[in-house]
Homo-oligomer: A and B are copies of this chain.
């Protein structure tokens, strides 16, 4: 009962990794928004497996089909359903994992919760579910675009290789200029090398995606429980493999004094209210203050590795699991469009909530 996200711009996703299809229903997208299916497909292509040498070589086209809600190129105010068929879902042999509880996967927890699981791969716990999020997020981004809001995510850390520059010193138009999606070429090269090294040693590696949201007017976000950063945090933490979220000064900020950390207000020459620093990350009291919003999302190393591992089966017996198949050595490059999508969904929802909120 938790496959729905959002209060007004609301998505419900469905589909298992090796079932017939994955998809999404968007309920609440305002009517009259122009939709270009190519833009949605473009977002899916950024998430697609097999897109580069450092992602899984698995080939899936991930072509989106719209079943409802869009007519003559515009949203109708009715639920928009988008479906992506899974490929070859019946052709594989799952006998090696059917009874195994793979380490740091959700095989055991799904079984404990539901008394059953779809053992053909990750089932519902697979990151394939994020196809649906990316499709929906592309639509949310269209709505944001109308309001001058942009969302840009990039890889800022892989393993111990950390991009040292703040986003303000980067050209965020260069995110897609390399396959790891780090807008700093030199750092990107080192990251790619590290991912290749992990891959070649049949291992995996984690990292961080950073996200910058620009053009948000002051006033979005809802106190007390639905603070803008609390919803962003939930949305990010709901993405597979995410272990942490911080915004603005984040975990580093705890070391600071109030006198350093406080963002002083001033009025700029155009008469806009601004802050001299932005440790607040564009959010104060859970509400946007008109400055850039920025945050970091930590991803653990992929759990599927091609080395043998000790674990147990569903009778509790010890087994050695032999990994096989084609998997990502590092999710970070493909996580970028997912972070983009979830951020766009959060913002679109708050935009609508704020519109509601007038006498």
Contacts and interface: CB of A to CB of B under 8 A. Distances in A.
A79 interface: yes
Q: How many copies does the complex hold?
A: 4
A55 interface: no
Interface string A217-252: 111111111110111011101100001111111110
B12 A257 contact: no
Given A4-B225, A79-B12, A115-B32, A250 B244 contact: yes
Contacts of A243: 246-251, 253-254, 281
Q: Is the interface of A mostly helix, strand, loop or mixed?
A: mixed
Given A68-B16, A68-B21, A247-B243, A301 B261 contact: yes
Given A104-B262, A265-B108, A285-B110, A300 B225 contact: no
B238 A32 contact: no
A167 interface: no
Contacts of A163: none
A30 B106 contact: no
A25 B1 contact: no
Interface stretch (A44-52, A170-178, A182-190, A347-355): A347-355
A53 interface: no
Interface string A297-329: 011111111010111100011100000000000
Contacts of A223: 2-3, 78, 106, 110, 124-125
A8 interface: yes
Interface residues of A, number: 152
B112 A285 contact: no
Contact of A312 (B14, B118, B261, B266): B266
Contacts of A318: 266-267
B301 A206 contact: no
A309 B15 CA distance: 46
Contacts of A337: none
Nearest to A143: B359
Interface string A190-211: 0000000010000111111000
B267 A312 contact: yes
A288 interface: yes
A287 interface: yes
